[in-house]
Amino acid sequence: MPALDERTVERLAEVICDLDGPYERRGYELEALLRRAGWVDPPEYDTSARVAWLRDVLHERRHREGDVERLLCRVCDPLEYRSEEIAEVFRRTVNEVIALEGLVVTVVAGRPVLGTIDRSGGATYSAPADLDRRLRELIIDKQTASLLIDRIRETEICAANGAYTFAIIGIGSFVEGLLQTVLSERDEQIRVHGFLDEKGKPLPDRRIGLQYLIDLAHSRSWIQLDAADFMHKVREYRNYVHPRVQQQDPQVFDRDSVMLCWAPVRAVLNDLEEQLARTITVP
């Protein structure tokens, strides 16, 4: 996602503040919104004009694509309002503003996800353009971060050359590594006791699979239920690494299959960053 145009930023600030509208946000509510969107060290509201303040804040962070993406999604998230109807009002209005930037917020398995608009007017999804920086901020161990970034690059090579099954396998592998690393680095209980089974006993490495990690991340509230549910579908596709699985349930994957798998990955990444901004614990 390229940096947004200044006029787009200004219009978004107007939409989010909704001055004199039914969903008007006060200064302290704007601060809280940025925190819930997972912004690290969000600025304090300085009592100036709200639209101008938020415009300047967004302009300052325009090159931090992850921050902008999470804010756009949070503004369109039913969790923000406890109402799907209000969230839908904001989603439609936000999409009117960002359409000229070639962007759209869609709802995928109950979660708002930022995508790009293709030539037919539909939404497409891909790995975030600034994934390298986001991973290096999310993951403490630099070697592991580099390994996961390499996985993504190889996945993109597979997709670009028609190896769609292996691209999907690569996406699942990336998410498994991401969840295991973030949980082991950032979750205090896991740092102390390691990964445990349902009886509280240490889990062998060979049993720490993607299904276990998705369920654990959700149980710890690191990812939302809808993101976890859709991620399980990606996990099922990832299991096609075993030829016998594809023999038992033949599937033909294509470019759209890979594209759709990126949507829950973006939702999971947003959820992890939001959670980390609230409860970051560095060893």
pLDDT band at 282 (very low <50, low <70, confident <90, very high): very low
Cβ atoms of residues 223 and 186 within 8 Å: no
What rounded mean pLDDT belongs to the chain?
Answer: 90
According to the model, what pLDDT value does residue 281 have?
41
| Mean pLDDT for the stretch of residues 120-127 | 88
Identity of residue 119: R
Determine which of 54-63, 77-86, 114-123, 244-253 has the lowest per-residue pLDDT on average: 244-253
Phi–psi pair at 116, nearest 5 degrees: -110, 155
- Residues with Cβ within 8 Å of residue 123, at least 6 apart in sequence: 104, 106, 115, 116, 117
Other C-beta atoms lying within 10 Å of the C-beta of residue 199: 5
What's the CA angle centered on 81, arms 79 and 87, to 5 degrees? 85
8 A C-beta contact, residue 226 and residue 109: yes
What separation in angstroms does the CA of 178 have from each of 27, 105, 184, 265? Answer: 35, 24, 10, 10
Mean pLDDT value of segment 255-277: 89
- Helix, strand or coil for residue 12? helix
At residue 114, the pLDDT reads 94
208, 142 contact by CB (below 8 A): no
Residues 6+ apart with CB under 8 A from 12: 4, 58, 72, 94, 97, 98
pLDDT bin (cut points 50, 70, 90) of residue 200 is confident
Instruction: Give the start-to-end residue ranges of the domains of the chain.
Output: 6-124, 131-279
Architecture of domain 131-279: Up-down Bundle (1.20)
CA-closest candidate to residue 95, choices 119, 80, 113: 113
> For the chain, what percent of residues have pLDDT higher than 90?
64
Query: Sign of the C-alpha dihedral, residues 135, 137, 140, 141?
Result: positive
* DSSP 8-class letter at 205: G
- Residue 240: DSSP 8-state: G
What tokens appear for 148 in the block?
């996961």
Q: What percent of the chain has pLDDT over 70?
A: 98
Total number of residues shown for the chain = 283
Radius of gyration (C-alpha) of the chain in whole angstroms: 19
pLDDT tens-digit readout, 146-167:
999 999 999 999 999 999 999 9
Q: Answer with the residue of higher pLDDT: 250 or 117.
A: 117
Model pLDDT, residue 115:
93
Range of weakest confidence among 12-16, 123-127, 139-143, 149-153 = 123-127
* DSSP track, 104-155: EEEEETTEEEEEEE-TTS-EE--S-TTHHHHHHHH-S-HHHHHHHHHHHHHH
Contacting residues for 63 by C-beta, under 8 A, at least 6 apart: 3
Angle (deg, nearest 10), helices 255-279 and 65-75: 90
